[in-house]
């Protein structure tokens, strides 16, 4: 019997809460029925950006931010239900990722002997009580406790959906704040997945620094007017993360304003910085493909970055002759893929089915991801 699930995701771009309604049958086949994006207000977005710094110390302010973010998730769920003509009683479970504030996986923690952890802002109790729907959340922590990176988690979903539709050696490329890749091997049962580096996160940061907040470089328009600063680009590409072997994960706490400022040794025009950072995204993705056992036969892109026309053009050029397409060609909205993945991971939790791929995250074993908060 098929059941309704809601998936909730907000990424490092901190622009909106994405909500999707899915119908999932007993075989895990997932049908995306509808979507809703609830934008952050400018003040809430600014507070979230501020919280993504290790200096936050005001516990009251932190809990207020958690409350306000979770209230926005409730609004997103209610609006999704309204536009989908569904009631809370018809929904089995919400799978809610939360807003990542800090990601400190074993690969980073091992350098100084600190505890590995990941922190997603969320009050699942508030969401469960106010929507009347059970919530599965905290998806990453158990993988970390099992020795994994806690990321990326979407490759399991990518494999579940695309292994049946795509040819062998297909790569799924997620262009979110951080770019990650899922490679389906020659037999389509072996999977490799890892974060390649920054996608939108540094582009959004540079735009805010030079042109004000909130905002982003829509369609890469400003970057298209700039020139690549080759010396800077080469300094950026020399970061050891790009040649590190998987399993590996990263986030905006690494590819941050501090990281960028250390690479800049002179003033630079905003449009030139944007153009150079866009090329960093492209070149680091192309370079990451050399870490795979074989060149991909097809690359299928998803995430907000697919709407950046300049980014997609540059990827097409530098990935040639490999064909680049998007998940839209397979009936899945590129903007909704991650939210759908967390609806599916909630379905996995309800069936006590492991949701991580140890070959991707480096975990010692497969584990059921998440914790459940009941509405009653």
Q: Which residues are annotated as a binding site for ATP?
A: 11-18
Shortest CA distance to 151 belongs to which of 214, 194, 190, 116? Answer: 194
Q: Which residues are annotated as a binding site?
A: 11-18
Instruction: For residue 157, give Cα distances in angstroms to 112, 182, 337.
Output: 33, 10, 9
Asked if residue 115 lies in contact with residue 102, where contact means CB atoms within 8 angstroms, the answer is: no
Asked if residue 105 lies in contact with residue 249, where contact means CB atoms within 8 angstroms, the answer is: yes
How are the residues of the chain apportioned to helix, strand and coil, as percentages rounded to the nearest 5?
45, 20, 35
The pairing of beta strand 30-39 with beta strand 178-184? unpaired
Q: What three-state secondary structure class fits 17? A: strand
The region, left, alpha or beta by phi > 0 then psi within -120 to 50, assigned to residue 150 is: left
Q: Give the count of beta carbons closer than 10 Å to the beta carbon of residue 343.
A: 30
Chain-centroid distance of CA 371 in Å reads 20
Asked if residue 154 lies in contact with residue 338, where contact means CB atoms within 8 angstroms, the answer is: yes
| Range 324-329, long-range pairs (CB < 8 A, 24+ positions) | 324/299, 325/298, 325/299, 325/300, 325/301, 326/300, 326/301, 326/302, 327/172, 327/300, 327/301, 327/302, 329/300
DSSP readout, 248-271? ----TTTSSHHHHHHH--S---HH
Q: Give the count of beta carbons closer than 10 Å to the beta carbon of residue 100.
A: 24
For residue 196 the two structure tokens come to: 């390649």
Asked if residue 340 lies in contact with residue 30, where contact means CB atoms within 8 angstroms, the answer is: yes
Q: Residue length, the chain?
A: 376
């Amino acid at each position: 019997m098929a059941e309704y699930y809601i998936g909730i995701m907000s990424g490092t771009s901190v622009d909106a809460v994405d909500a999707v309604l899915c119908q999932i049958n007993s075989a895990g086949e997932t049908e995306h029925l509808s979507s809703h994006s609830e934008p952050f207000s400018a003040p809430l977005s600014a507070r979230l950006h501020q919280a993504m710094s290790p200096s936050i110390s005001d516990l009251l302010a932190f809990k207020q931010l958690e409350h306000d973010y979770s209230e926005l998730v409730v609004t997103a769920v209610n609006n999704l239900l309204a536009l989908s003509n569904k009631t809370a009683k018809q929904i089995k479970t919400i799978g809610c990722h939360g807003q990542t504030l800090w990601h400190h996986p074993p690969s980073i923690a091992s350098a100084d002997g600190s505890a590995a952890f990941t922190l997603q802002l969320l009050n699942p109790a508030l969401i469960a009580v106010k929507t009347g729907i059970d919530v599965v959340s905290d998806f990453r922590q158990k993988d970390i406790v099992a020795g994994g990176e806690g990321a990326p988690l979407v490759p399991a979903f990518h494999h579940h959906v695309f292994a049946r539709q795509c040819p062998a050696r297909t790569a799924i490329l997620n262009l979110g704040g951080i770019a990650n890749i899922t490679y389906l091997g020659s037999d389509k049962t072996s999977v490799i997945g890892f974060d390649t580096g920054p996608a939108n996160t540094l582009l959004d940061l540079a735009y805010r620094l030079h042109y004000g907040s909130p905002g982003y470089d829509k369609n890469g328009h400003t970057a298209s007017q700039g020139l690549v600063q080759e010396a800077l680009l080469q300094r950026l590409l020399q970061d050891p993360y790009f040649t590190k072997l998987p399993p590996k994960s990263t986030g905006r706490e690494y590819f941050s304003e501090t990281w960028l400022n250390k690479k800049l040794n002179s003033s630079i025009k905003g449009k030139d910085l944007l153009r150079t950072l866009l090329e960093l995204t492209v070149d680091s993705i192309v370079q990451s493909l050399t870490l795979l056992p074989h060149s991909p036969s097809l690359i299928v892109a998803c995430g907000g970055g697919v709407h950046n026309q300049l980014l997609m053009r540059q990827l097409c050029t530098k990935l040639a002759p490999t064909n680049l397409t998007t998940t839209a060609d397979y009936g899945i909205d590129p903007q909704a893929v991650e939210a759908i993945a967390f609806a599916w991971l909630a379905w996995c939790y309800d069936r006590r089915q492991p949701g991580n791929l140890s070959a991707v995250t480096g975990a010692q074993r497969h584990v059921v991801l998440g914790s459940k908060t009941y509405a009653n």
